[in-house]
Amino acid sequence: MSAGRVAALIPAAGSGTRLGRGPKAYVTVAGRTLLERSVEALRPHVSEVIVALPEGETLPAGVRARAVTGGGTRQDSVRLLLEASDADVVLVHDAARPFLGAGTVRAVLDAARASGAATVALPVADTLVRADGTGWGERVERAGLWAVQTPQAGRRDWLLAAHTRAAREGHAATDDAGLLHWAGHAVTLVPGEATLFKVTTPGDLQLAEALAAMWDAAQP
Ligand SMILES: Nc1ccn([C@@H]2O[C@H](COP(=O)(O)OP(=O)(O)OP(=O)(O)O)[C@@H](O)[C@H]2O)c(=O)n1
Ligand SMILES: C[C@](O)(CO)[C@H](O)COP(=O)(O)O
C-alpha cells in the first residue's frame, strides 16, 4: 500500500501482575518510565501516538501522547486504540518493551506498507521441549519457529475489521498479527532484536536496568 498517515498505538493498560509493581507503564528503568521509553522510540516515525491507560490513570510526566482508557484485556485495549485513531497505518507496540531501535521501527513499517501487515519477531535459538508431568516431555522442532515481538504494523482498516469481528465472535488472540492472520491476511515477519524483550517478571526488570545505561548511551 502507498504511504499514508501513521499512528503509534501503545497498549499500556495492564496491571503488571507478574512484575508485582503496579501498572508497568509507570515503572521506571534508569529514571524513565517504560511508557516514556516506548513513546519516545516511536514518536519520530509517526504523526500521532495514542496510549491506552488503566481506568482512572493519567499519563506519567514526560510522556507526549494522547491517552484513552484501555479495556479488560490487551485485545480490548488495542481495539479501543484503533477506534480512537483515523490513521491509515498503525504500529501497535507494548509499553512493556522499552528498548526499541529506529532501524526496527523503519523495517516493520516498510514491510507493512509493502504487504499490509507485518510484525517484528525473533527466530528461536534455543532447543524447545514441551513439559509433561515429569519434566522433559517431547522435543519440539524449532526450525521455522519465531518468537513474536512488537511493534506490529498494518493497515488500520484491516486491524479494526479483525478486532471487531473477534469481539463479535468471542475470538481471543495474544497479539494483533495473530488476529490479522486469523482474519485471512498474510503477515510478513521482520527479524527483531533480543533487546526488544518484554519486561514481564522481576528478573526482566533487573535485566532492563542493566541494559539501560548502555542503550541510552548509544541513542542519537
Ligand atoms: N488490559 C490490558 C492488558 C495489557 N495491556 C498491555 O499489553 C502489553 C503486554 O501485556 P503484559 O506484558 O501481559 O502486561 P500486563 O497485562 O500488565 O502484565 P500481567 O499479565 O503480568 O498482569 C502491556 O504493555 C500492557 O500494559 C493493556 O493495554 N490492557
Ligand atoms: C503481544 C505480545 O507481546 C507478542 O509477543 C504478547 O503476545 C503479549 O502477551 P501477554 O500475554 O499480554 O504478556
Q: Is the pLDDT of residue 176 over 60?
A: yes
User: From residue 38, how far is each of 25, 31, 50, 78, 173 by CA, in Å?
Assistant: 9, 14, 12, 16, 22
pLDDT score recorded for residue 4:
87
Distance 157 CA to ligand 2 centre (A): 22
Over 70: is that where the pLDDT of 2 sits? no
Q: Which residue's alpha carbon is at the smallest distance from atom 13 of ligand 2?
A: 200
Judged by its nearest atom, the ligand closest to the C-alpha of residue 39 is 1
Q: Which atom, in ligand 2's list, is nearest to the CA of 14? A: 12
What are the tens digits of pLDDT across the range 30-84?
Answer: 999 999 999 999 999 999 999 999 999 999 998 999 999 999 999 999 999 999 9
Q: Taking 80 as the threshold, does the pLDDT of residue 217 lie above it?
A: yes
Average confidence score pLDDT of the chain: 97
Q: Is 97's C-beta closer than 6 angstroms to any atom of ligand 1?
A: no
Q: How far is the CA of 74 from the centre of ligand 1 (A)?
A: 6
pLDDT of 220 strictly over 90: no
Instruction: Please compute the mean of the pLDDT values over residues 152-169 and round it to a whole number.
Output: 98
Contact present, 97 and 38 (Cβ < 8 Å)? yes
Q: Which atom of ligand 2 is nearest to the CA of 200?
A: 13
Choice between 140 and 3, residue whose per-residue pLDDT is larger: 140
What are 130's three cell numbers?
514441551
- CB of 212 closer than 6 angstroms to any ligand 1 atom: no
Whether residue 1 is predicted with pLDDT greater than 80 in this model: the reply is: no
CA gap 35, 185 in Å, rounded: 30
* Ligand 1 geometric centre to CA of 161 (Å): 22
Residue 150 CA to ligand 2 center (angstroms) comes to 8
Ligand with the closest atom to the CA of 13: 1
Q: Whose CA is nearest to atom 7 of ligand 2?
A: 174
Tell me: pLDDT of 119 over 60. Answer: yes
**In the predicted model, is pLDDT for residue 3 greater than 80?**
no
66 lines ligand 1 (CB under 6 A): no
- Closest by CA to 66, choosing from 35, 89, 94, is 35
